[in-house]
Amino acid sequence: MKINIYTCHFGNGHYKAADFIKEQLDADHETKIIDLYEEIFPNMHEWVYYFYRDLMQKQNLWYHLFLKVDGVKDKVIPQLTFLKNRFFDYLDSRPNPDIFIATYSLSAYFLGLYKQERELTTPLITCVTDFMAHEFWMNDYTDLYLVASPFTKAHLLQGEVQEEQILVYGLGGQSKGNIERSFEGPLKILVTGGGLG
């Protein structure tokens, strides 16, 4: 079975989730990770990622403008037509896999539109890598949602996703080796995340 996992390098969380899923599937399936921006902008993807990193690190005027439209589908969708068309051209130029998997919200959104417009029955699995699932994660053409926690599941249920479509899966991690403590006393762990993973 051929499985394509569509992701990006905006931060490292989307890609780490894709890597973890691939690791789980590799033994039995032909699995490929596809960076959305690297494929549709082969000569410019490094600039796209540079601009994003700069935006997140400096939190300048562009960042605040970005926050004003982020998650507001009606305002953002008209700006995405060029990106959508490039992605559809890419998908049309290659054979369809047996399963689509998305670990990045825009990939999930575009793949849902692609299934709709091309009238495909190819299953789409969306691995939600954000703690809260915003509008671009949810579409009528996703067959299964993988989420990190019951909190994210509850958020999807509020967005009218059916409970049987949601699997609390976690986001994976390093499964190789054990970590041994080399000190006595209480263990304190700090976990952080955000715009750069």
Percent of the chain past pLDDT 70, that is, above it, reads 71
pLDDT value at residue 194: 60
Any idea where the domains of the chain sit in the sequence?
2-168
Q: How many Cβ atoms from other residues are within 10 Å of residue 123's Cβ? A: 16
Residues 22, 33 contacting (CB under 8 angstroms):
yes
Helix (H/G/I), strand (E/B), else coil: 44: coil
pLDDT value at residue 68: 54
CB-neighbour burial class of residue 27 (10 A; exposed 0-12, middle 13-18, buried 19+): exposed
pLDDT value at residue 54: 59
pLDDT value at residue 73: 55
Hey, what amino acid is at 144?
L
pLDDT value at residue 15: 80
pLDDT value at residue 175: 47
What angle, rounded to 10 degrees, do the helices at 105-118 and 81-92 form? 60
Q: Is the pLDDT of residue 98 over 80?
A: yes
Q: Is the pLDDT of residue 10 over 50?
A: yes
Q: Which of 124, 126, 149 is nearest to 136 (CA)?
A: 126
Q: Which of 80, 131, 130, 134 is nearest to 110 (CA)?
A: 80
For residue 133, what pLDDT band results from cuts at 50, 70 and 90?
Answer: confident
pLDDT value at residue 30: 94
Q: Is the pLDDT of residue 38 over 70?
A: yes
Residues 32, 3 contacting (CB under 8 angstroms):
yes
Half-sphere exposure of 22 (CA within 13 A, CB side): 17
What confidence tens digit (pLDDT) does each residue in 41-51 have?
Answer: 777 657 665 66
Alpha helices in the chain (DSSP H): 13-25, 36-40, 45-58, 61-69, 73-76, 81-92, 105-118, 150-158
Q: How many Cβ atoms from other residues are within 10 Å of residue 131's Cβ? A: 13
Architecture of domain 2-168: 3-Layer(aba) Sandwich (3.40)
Q: Is the pLDDT of residue 158 over 80?
A: yes
pLDDT value at residue 197: 47
pLDDT value at residue 172: 61
pLDDT value at residue 132: 81
Residue 77 DSSP label: G
Percent of the chain past pLDDT 90, that is, above it, reads 41
Residues 90, 40 contacting (CB under 8 angstroms):
yes
Q: Is the pLDDT of residue 106 over 90?
A: no
**How many whole angstroms separate alpha carbon 192 and alpha carbon 34?**
26
Q: Is the pLDDT of residue 151 over 80?
A: yes
Residues 8, 33 contacting (CB under 8 angstroms):
no
Average pLDDT of the segment spanning 94-100: 96
